[in-house]
Amino acid sequence: MSTRLVLLENSSETSLSRLLQTLGAHFEPQASLEEAVCVDTINSNKKSVLIISGQHLNAAGALARTRSVSLAQVFGNFAAVLLCAWDCDTENVRCLAEWIGGKVEVTRFQGDAHCYAVKPLALAKPFSGLEFGPVKAESDFGLTVAGTSCPVETIVSIGELSFFFRVMLPGTQLFVSCSSCIFDVDAEARCNLRAALSFSGLAPLLFFLRDCGISAWQTPLRAANIVMDDPDLKESYGFIDPKTLAQWLDKLDCAVSIGFIPWNFKRTSPSVVELFRSRWPRLSLCVHGCDHVNAEFCGNVSSSRQLIALALDRMERLSRDTGLSYDKVMVFPHGEFSGSAMQALQESSFLAAVNTELIDSQADRGVPAGQLLQPAITSYSGFPLFLRRPAGEPIANFALDL
Ligand SMILES: [Zn+2]
């Protein structure tokens, strides 16, 4: 059975619908609570699920009183409801307690000592089992739920408190995310996402959508690639011994791409070339700048075009001399690039760029945060920019990428 997602929103509330659009989730916006709860489930072959915020909960409480019915009856036509983007005001808490037939107690957080702990549940993958923080004390809170006869399952806790949980009401699963925060897709992002900062405004919604079977963008292949910048193809480079690297590649069944500096096109040795040839494409080459001098790809379109042509010429000579091919993927030296360089790359035969940084250093500008929820950033002349992370970042950041 397919699922119909209804989003209750007033005209002033657009951040949630913008987020759902960015995630590629199909939904029906609904401004009227009365109309939303009149959904006809008997004559429909779809199950309906609903997303509401705190003010709709209060309005539903008033509607229930007017109609002399329970809140469970008001939302009874929905298989699942997500309560999010709410601030746990007194009326919210009263309504929630009435809805689940129990007691609800709110705790606010202070300082940065509190962490999210995600239960090892299928719906919470790939965060399942992770603990990280600090929580966003200004927007997140924790609840203690007691006295209800309905089963309560905590999905994410903060200390002893529930942060994201579901209550199995008869006929309806009520999901509650305890945060007033919603991921703002239009805010300027000047660096890659960090799990602790983005989790409360994003992950509970993603878990809910997945559990309800709402299709959103998903990667068909959950895999990672290690990119190492700078080494040439000689017997040793700094701490890198290519033979040992190749052995670990075989043992761990992983993939490594060397960000090769085109200027080094003559710096090769036959044994290292053979290592690459025998493990291709799990051991591969991509292009790391041209001369690898400071800010070389931070100039205008014309200087970038010349550098790109020279880099490609050198890589072609490497290919001719060694028989090794390379990926037409650019990793910028020191992570620095300009929007003009991206435009020049778009005109060239390069396929994409991979970078840790995302700032256009010429314009000193980031990208809309919603771009980071897409497979690649495309706001630079449409040339795909894939972000990578330093290996030492918290594991939860990598979970966010999956
Ligand atoms: Zn480098």
Q: What is the pLDDT of residues 307-344, one digit of tens each?
A: 999 999 999 999 999 999 999 999 999 999 999 999 99
Please tell me the distance between residue 228's alpha carbon and the centre of ligand 1 in angstroms.
9
pLDDT at 289 over 80: yes
Using alpha carbons, list the distances in angstroms from residue 207 to 33, 224, 269, 314, 396. 24, 22, 50, 47, 15
302 occurs within a structural domain:
yes
Q: Which residues make beta-bridge pairs with 381?
A: none
The predicted structure's pLDDT at residue 35 = 83
CA distance 241 to 352: 28
For residues 157-183, average pLDDT:
96
Q: Are residues 37 and 90 in the same domain?
A: yes
71 occurs within a structural domain:
yes
Q: Pick from 212, 242, 269: which residue ends a domain?
A: 212
The predicted structure's pLDDT at residue 11 = 67
Please tell me the distance between residue 352's alpha carbon and the centre of ligand 1 in angstroms.
17
Q: Are residues 263 and 171 in the same domain?
A: no
Please tell me the distance between residue 291's alpha carbon and the centre of ligand 1 in angstroms.
10
The percent of residues in the chain predicted with pLDDT above 90, rounded, is 83
pLDDT at 13 over 80: no
For residues 90-115, average pLDDT:
94
Instruction: Provide the pLDDT confidence category of residue 253 given band limits of 50, 70 and 90.
Output: confident
> Between vectors from CA 345 to CA 330 and to CA 369, what angle results, nearest 5°?
75
Q: Per-residue pLDDT tens for 67-90?
A: 999 999 999 999 999 999 999 899
pLDDT at 40 over 80: no
The predicted structure's pLDDT at residue 224 = 78
pLDDT at 216 over 90: no
The predicted structure's pLDDT at residue 43 = 58
Instruction: Provide the pLDDT confidence category of residue 402 given band limits of 50, 70 and 90.
Output: confident
Neighbours of 212 (CB within 10 A): 22
Please tell me the distance between residue 332's alpha carbon and the centre of ligand 1 in angstroms.
8
Please tell me the distance between residue 261's alpha carbon and the centre of ligand 1 in angstroms.
8
| Stronger pLDDT, 42 or 228, i.e. the higher one | 228
pLDDT at 386 over 90: yes
Q: Are residues 204 and 235 in the same domain?
A: no
Q: Are residues 184 and 259 in the same domain?
A: no
Q: Are residues 166 and 238 in the same domain?
A: no
220 occurs within a structural domain:
no
Please tell me the distance between residue 349's alpha carbon and the centre of ligand 1 in angstroms.
22
pLDDT at 45 over 70: no
Please tell me the distance between residue 305's alpha carbon and the centre of ligand 1 in angstroms.
20
pLDDT at 235 over 70: yes
Q: Are residues 196 and 233 in the same domain?
A: no
CA distance 164 to 178: 6
pLDDT at 397 over 80: yes
Region of poorest pLDDT, from 212-216, 328-332, 343-347: 212-216
